[in-house]
Amino acid sequence: MHTDKLVIATQNSGKLEEYQNILSPLNIGLESLADYGVQIQAEETGLTFRENALIKAHFGFKQTNVPCLADDSGLTIDALNGEPGIHSARYGEPTFNDAQRVELILNNMKDIPAINRTARFICCIAVVGLTDIPLIVQGSISGAISLTPSGNHGFGYDPIFYLPTLKTTMANLNSETKNNISHRGDAAWKLLKILNK
């Protein structure tokens, strides 16, 4: 890899912290758009996680002229026809916070039996400005939507994303465990393999 800096295009402090932990083996400076005085965000007009990740990475590179990593991630729930999907961060009303979005999901699924509560977290990462063409990787993790929130770690939908193999929600995992198994961790490890070649 031919850079000593990489901008992470996010305003989400939890996501930035996860990337700082996961990408620490690169031994490069990881900075945010805010470090460059960029307070605006790219308009996510894509129809897929991949398209939105590319939009955000191109935007970040254009704003900073530094190689930029962006991801688009979200929760897809089979019983809700893939919702909230690419709208995960904006699900419900524009003023909703994470807890209100979680409550909306649980309300929308109140009559769905446990066997039909399957879901996936998906993360698509795009890196622009490092190579001639964007680097794109995708990761995922399968689970189910719990009946009630549980746990205080993580952010977003972590308190209701139940992992059957671990018998707990994502929000009950410490950051090291989460980063090793999560959708973002899965995608980031794939990216690390490419960058370390």
Q: Which fold has domain 5-195?
A: Maf protein (3.90.950)
In this prediction, what percent of the chain has a pLDDT beyond 90?
A: 76
What's residue 71's pLDDT?
Answer: 95
Q: What's the rounded Cα separation, in Å, for the pair 77 and 81?
A: 6
For residue 3, name the pLDDT band (cuts at 50, 70, 90).
confident
What's residue 18's pLDDT?
Answer: 83
What's residue 10's pLDDT?
Answer: 86
Q: What is the pLDDT of residues 125-154, one digit of tens each?
A: 999 999 999 999 999 999 999 999 999 998
Indicate the residue type of 35.
D
In this prediction, what percent of the chain has a pLDDT beyond 70?
A: 99
Give the tokens for residue 18.
Answer: 């996860």
What's residue 82's pLDDT?
Answer: 98
For residue 1, name the pLDDT band (cuts at 50, 70, 90).
low
pTM of the model: 0.92
For residue 8, name the pLDDT band (cuts at 50, 70, 90).
very high
Q: Is 72 among the residues known to form the active site?
A: yes
Q: What is the mean pLDDT of residues 59-77?
A: 97
Catalytic residue among 71, 72, 158, 186: 72
What's residue 16's pLDDT?
Answer: 85
State the DSSP code for 7: E
Q: What's the rounded Cα separation, in Å, for the pair 63 and 113?
A: 47
Query: Under DSSP, is residue 45 helix (H, G, I), strand (E, B) or coil?
Result: coil
Q: What's the rounded Cα separation, in Å, for the pair 126 and 191?
A: 9
Residues sharing a CB contact under 8 Å with residue 24, sequence separation 6 or more, in sequence order: none
